Amino acid sequence: MHSLPQAVIFDMDGLMLNTEQLAYSVLTRTVTDLGGDSFPLEVYRKLVGCSAEAVAGILSENMGAAFPVDEILPVWRENYRKTVEECPLPVKPGIFELLEFLEQNHVRRAVATSTALPLTTQKLKKVGLFSHFESFATVDKVPAGKPAPDVYLLALRQLDLSVEHCLALEDSPNGVRAAHAAGLRVVMVPDMIAPTPELEAMAHNILPSLNHVRSWLSE
């Protein structure tokens, strides 16, 4: 086994929870319910890992002036909140095994997410993951969301550790950019977006699943 980090900082949606596809499905349903066409996946991919504030600007820029951003966004968020509350949340394969491995090896665990703390808490408690983490850096606690490094810098302060002792796990381009900007080593586990040469240059490693992350850390 090579030298393990003192802490691993996890993204949440798309990394631990298979919720990006769920959010896209809810958005598509919201748009069609309000009389629009199905929402393009290539635009949704640009939203992945972004803060709520950034989403409005990306929608306006990519969907054109006729797209009713101010009408659709609050309905989408409410529909998504209800879905999270009422429906099962799928977790990514290997998350519990990875956390067990880290716990057995006394590696600390933290979360750094573009989701606000109340919804982060709700999601992680619902799937039985909340108690596996000691701290939660969420977008509502920092000035700027990913790809800015703020949530990762907050996570490092909460852990009281320097970057060289920590590893970040991310699925999205904005998450990789955020962790890299904070000075962290980051492993990308792609979800809805394949790695590009830019991300390959930033990432310490790119692995296909959390099970592969566990195996890699065990080497």
Q: Which residues are catalytic?
A: 11, 13
Helix extents (H) in 87-159? 95-104, 117-126, 150-159
* 3-state SS, residue 124: helix
d(CA 43, CA 186): 25
Torsion of Cα atoms, 9 then 211 then 93 then 47, to 10°? 50
Nearest CA among 213, 219, 216, 218 for reference residue 9: 213
The rounded distance, in Å, linking the Cα atoms of 5 and 179 is 15
Q: Token pair 């950034």 is at which residue?
A: 54
CA–CA distance from 151 to each of 86, 141, 201 (Å)? 28, 8, 21
Tokens of 147: 């790809």
Beta-bridge partner residues of 110: 9, 135
